Amino acid sequence: MASRFRHAALVGKYQAPGSRQVLASVAEFLTNQGLEVSLDTTTAMAVGLPDYGALDAAQIGKHCDLAVVVGGDGTMLGTARQLARYGVPMIGINQGRLGFMTDIPMAEFRETIAPMIAGDYEEEHRTMLEGCVKRPSGDEFDVIYETFAVNDVVVSRGASAGMVELRVDVQDQFVANFRADGLIISSPTGSTAYALSAGGPILHPGISGWLMVPIAPHALSNRPIVLPDDSEVRIEIVAGRDASVNFDHQSLASLLHGDRICVRRSEHRVRVLHPRGWNFYATLRRKLHWNEGVLPDGAHS
């Protein structure tokens, strides 16, 4: 069977027990499928597989046409943030727990990935968030931090402090001042993460929208809202001590009153490859245990 790809980058959850043996097995399989295999530099330094080269993100973007990610969704998110700008598609092998994005079970990776390498797969593009923190400097604002997020941007109160007060504007239109433990701006991908546990709805990844979800709001009428993803969301710290912001759990602590967190849609999109027949609803049934029902043909899900 001919290969659709020529050079795969292998990224691993190297902290997991037995990760070296797992990554060696995946690397050997990919090589046997006719692909050149390189490890990302962090994985290579951690597991030490000398038979394979090591590449950083920019080199992967230049030389590789596929990334195989072994781990959980956290590993997949970190890889996506690094590789989205280069347009490298990713395949996720689940070595974690839930695995909404790493949807190939470790025990089935050989029979599942072989046809994908030959070109038989479903390709999905997911939007990313791009955000920055601006701090007042005279009459201007200085950008003190900027990065990407695949799941969400979360502004939250300090560990020992009370609520924060946040002013929210969408596309220069004032929305409200929220008093809450925090506020989540989530992509459709992130709607099954923190936003879901905070009471937000699930968004299909094909929807062009963001979720804005207050965390434990003071006013019970502060409800989650779906926003168009072509608008910039601006969150200003009005009151509260030790507020922080994190982008997919990359944290910037000790925000000051007057700091602004600006969130917009990134020009980059995440490319994810799934096995043929994959669909989002089947993933929800499996991962959220909606599998007590009966499918239309009478077979149990």
Q: Which residues are catalytic?
A: 73
Measuring CA to CA, how many Å separate 284 from each of 97, 163, 190? 14, 33, 13
- Find all residues with CB under 8 Å of 73, minimum gap 6, and list them: 96, 98, 99, 100, 101, 102, 193
Write the secondary structure of 191-214 as one string of H (helix), E (strand) and C (coil): HHCHHHHCCCCCCCCCCCEEEEEE
Measuring CA to CA, how many Å separate 11 from each of 91, 126, 190, 245? 10, 20, 21, 27
**Residues 291, 300 contacting (CB under 8 angstroms):** yes
For residue 136 the two structure tokens come to 């007042």
Residue 222, phi then psi, degrees to nearest 5: -75, 100
3-state secondary structure of 75: helix
Of 126, 150, 148, 97, residue with least CA distance to 273? 126
Say which amino acid occupies 234.
Answer: R
Residues facing 10 on adjacent strands: 39, 68
**Residues 131, 147 contacting (CB under 8 angstroms):** yes
User: What is the DSSP pairing of strand 260-275 with strand 233-239?
Assistant: antiparallel
Q: Concatenated DSSP letters for 124-138? A: EEEEEEEEEEEEEET
